[in-house]
Amino acid sequence: METNDVMLDVRDLVVHYGKAPALRGVSLDVGKGEVVALLGANGSGKTTLLNTISGFLVPRAGQVSINARVLTGQPPHVVFREGVAHVSQYRDLFGQLSVRDNLILGAAVKGDRSDTALELVYAKFPRLKERSAQRTITLSGGEQQMLAIGRALMSQPEILLFDEPSAGLAPKFVDEIGRIMQELKEESRTMLLVEQNMRLAMCVADRFYVLRDGQVVAHGTGEELRSDFSELAKRHYL
């Protein structure tokens, strides 16, 4: 990949929890308009990597760059302003606020309360528009996940980080999240996707990396993932 095409560049990242290593020299990149799947068993370091990119964890060594600007060690609000929107496993919504207020907060951090952005999100998620005045805590898990994604889109991000967006959802909402991911791909959104649902990941990934014990142990194209998944799973998950 040409250097000018790289949006996210992670080089030799080392992260510890206390004395225990969580990432051991991880390197990867995500190109503009590309969807990269980050795969691996539980405890392999996937969430740690996303949290480090977003600024919630400070690495012991290595570098994170967005659009060639080094952001290693910067706090989350600075990383966010550089265009990184992170949809975590926990969604991090404000349960007592309305759907609309949660969405507005996604743009307000950048000082933008654009009604246009809100209408674009409502067009993508009609269910959120129907529930715009409803308290977020009353939404189903699937609806809350849609809201978390919608709030991330309100910031008009350069890159979206998704940490298992389909986890714990009913099958109908898993299908809905798959549709949303496909839509975002068709819009040429840049995404780094952690996802245990391999069917979903395989449908949208242009490339993939596999983490194991905090290290990249395999990488390849989406086509290789779709054709060789059984062998990859046997080798790196079991």
**Confidence at residue 227, expressed as pLDDT on a 0 to 100 scale:** 78
User: What's the distance, CA 175 to chain centroid?
Assistant: 18
The pLDDT of residue 238 is 46
Q: What is the pLDDT of residue 158?
A: 95
Q: By the 8 A CB rule, do 154 and 146 touch? A: no
**Residue 98: its pLDDT value, please?**
96
Round to whole Å and give the CA distance between 186 and 184: 5
- What is the reported pLDDT for 56? 96
**Rounded to an integer, what distance in angstroms lies between the CA atom of residue 205 and that of residue 44?**
19
Report d(CA 91, CA 174) in Å as an integer.
Answer: 16
Q: What is the pLDDT of residues 70-95, one digit of tens each?
A: 999 999 999 999 999 999 988 889 89
Architecture of domain 1-83+162-167+195-238: 3-Layer(aba) Sandwich (3.40)
Residue-wise pLDDT for 35-51, tens only, equals: 999 998 889 999 999 99
Query: Looking at this protein, which amino acid is placed at residue 193?
Result: L
- Which parts of the chain register pLDDT below 50? 238
